[in-house]
Amino acid sequence: MPDGDHGASRGSALDSAVADRERGSLNSGADPEASGWVIETVISPFHCLYQDALHFHTQSQLRLQRSESEASRLARGALLLYVASAEAFVHQAAVELGRPELTKMIADPSRPLPLADSWRLLPAIVADSPVGSIDLNSPPWPQFAELLALRSSWTYPGPTSTRRAYYRSARRDGVYEPLEPRQVPAGMSITPEALLYPKTGLPRDPYALRPRHLDTARQILDAAIEALDRRLGGALTRDQRHRKEPVRVVHPPTQRG
């Protein structure tokens, strides 16, 4: 996935619209100050949320040297936005590319499917003929499932027995940092899986989230998009369909494209 902010596509279209507006003023005598100009755009929630996630991701990296707690706070926001963009991506694709009679299987907000199921079923509602199911045991799907499980563990916390977190310091009155598997003292029955998700290394403790974990989360999401796109012959991302936010002038009427 490209790193840049593709919101520039809106800016370029807006610049063109402004140029058209200025030419129209000379030809029609319209007074922009009096009548005003209105443009219309079609937003891509995936694009918006993904770019916001990138922003918080970057800010988390920048804050890390100054404050790990601030970096972690920004990292949590970025991770939630990455997963929200994954939701927007699959629901947007279902509406725009899915067969009308099947679209609601995925994109009906009154009957939401688990996000992992939506991604798994998308090829079946887009394809003209039945397709095989996604092999959930092959990368990137086990990693994607853990990324979604991490977010779910924040919104569905479960009993206290599943929410224990551990911190370590060299001294009793020192600074405590999240315990890593290699630091577990001999004799303590703390397994690595109690601290980290095994396939991704993402921490179960939200306070332990750091920018390096966001690097992993973003790589997983990008890999999932690419894998799903391959199954659909490139239809998901063709011509940057999922990122485009076209703009047109809707007022004054003489400027409509």
- 123 shares its domain with 199: yes
* CA 170 – CA 8 distance, rounded (Å): 49
236 membership: H or E segment, kind and range: none
| Residue 63 domain flag | yes
Kindly report, residue by residue over 24-38, the tens digit of the pLDDT: 444 445 555 556 889
| Distance of alpha carbon 237 from alpha carbon 230, whole angstroms | 10
Residue linked to tokens 């977190």: 165
Shared domain check, 219 and 100: yes
> Is residue 228 assigned to a domain?
yes
| pLDDT at site 132 | 54
Contacts of 159 by beta carbon, 8 Å cutoff, 6+ apart? none
User: Residues 174-183: what's their mean pLDDT?
Assistant: 94
Quote the CA–CA distance of 13 and 82 in Å, as a whole number: 26
Same domain, 125 and 34: no
Q: What is the mean pLDDT of residues 114-128?
A: 89
Q: What is the mean pLDDT of residues 206-229?
A: 96
Into how many domains does the chain fold? Answer: 2
CA separation for the pair 134, 228 (Å, rounded): 9
pTM: 0.83
d(CA 131, CA 111): 24
pLDDT at residue number 34: 59
Shared-domain flag, residues 142 and 52: yes
25 with 56, same domain: the answer is: no
- One domain, residues 92 and 206: yes
Same-domain status, 1 and 69: no
How crowded is the C-beta side of 205, counted as CA atoms within 13 Å? Answer: 16
Dump pLDDT digits (tens) for 56-111: 999 999 999 999 999 999 999 999 999 999 999 999 999 999 999 999 999 999 99
Domain membership of residue 181 (yes or no) is: no
Q: What residue numbers bound the domain in which 14 lies? A: 1-42+242-257
